[in-house]
Amino acid sequence: MIGFAFIAISLFTLGAGLAAALMPKLIHAALSLVLAFGGLAAFYFLLGAEFVGLVQVFVYVGAVAVLVVFTILLTRRDVKAEARFNWSGVVVALAVLGALVWAILRTPELAVAAPDPKILTVKQIGAVLMTDYVWPLQCVGLVLTAALIGALVLVTEKES
Partner 1 sequence: MDQIFVNLKQQLLAWLIHLGASDLVVQIASVLINIAGVLGVFLTMFALLSVLERKILGRIQNRYGPNRVGPFGLFQPVADGIKMLIKEDIVPARADKLVHFAAPILIAAAAIMTLGVIPYGRNMTAFVIDGGILFFFAVGSTTELGVFMAGWGSNNKFSMLGAMRAIAQMVSYELPLIITTLPVVMVVGSLMPDAIVDAQSGYTFGVIPHWFVTKPWGAAAFLLFFISGLVESNRTPFDVPEGESEIVAGHMTEYSGFKYAIFFMAEYFGMFAVSGLAVTLFLGGWHAPIGLLEFVPSYIWFFAKLGALIFVFIWVRGTLPRTRVDQMMNFAWKFMLPMAFTCIIAAAVWFYAGHGIRGWLASLAVVAAVYLLLSQMLDTKKKFAKRTYRFAE
Binding site for partner 1 (CB under 8 A): 1, 25, 27-28, 31, 34, 50-51, 54-55, 57-58, 61-63, 65-66, 69-70, 73, 121-123
Q: Are 52 and 117 in contact (CB under 8 A)?
A: no
Q: Which is nearer to partner 1, 73 or 93 (CB)?
A: 73
Q: Cα dist. 20→28, 34, 112 in Å?
A: 7, 9, 37
CB atoms within 10 A of CB 28: 14
Amino acid at 56: Q
Question: H/E element holding 111?
Answer: none
Residue closer to partner 1, measured from CB, 9 or 32: 32
How many other C-beta atoms are found inside a 10 Å radius of the C-beta of residue 1? 5
Q: How far is the CB of 107 from partner 1 (least distance, A)?
A: 34
d(CA 16, CA 11): 8
Residue number, 17 or 27, with CB nearest to partner 1 = 27
The nearest distance, CB 74 to partner 1, in angstroms, is 10
In the complex, what is the shortest distance from the CB of residue 62 to partner 1, in angstroms, rounded to a whole number? 3
Tell me how far, at minimum, the Cβ of 10 lies from partner 1, in Å: 21
Smallest distance from the beta carbon of 118 to partner 1, in angstroms? Answer: 14
Select 5 or 90, whichever has its Cβ closest to partner 1.
5
Q: Please name the amino acid found at residue 32.
A: S
C-beta closer to partner 1: residue 99 or 140: 140
Nearest Cα neighbor of 35 from 55, 5, 65 is 65
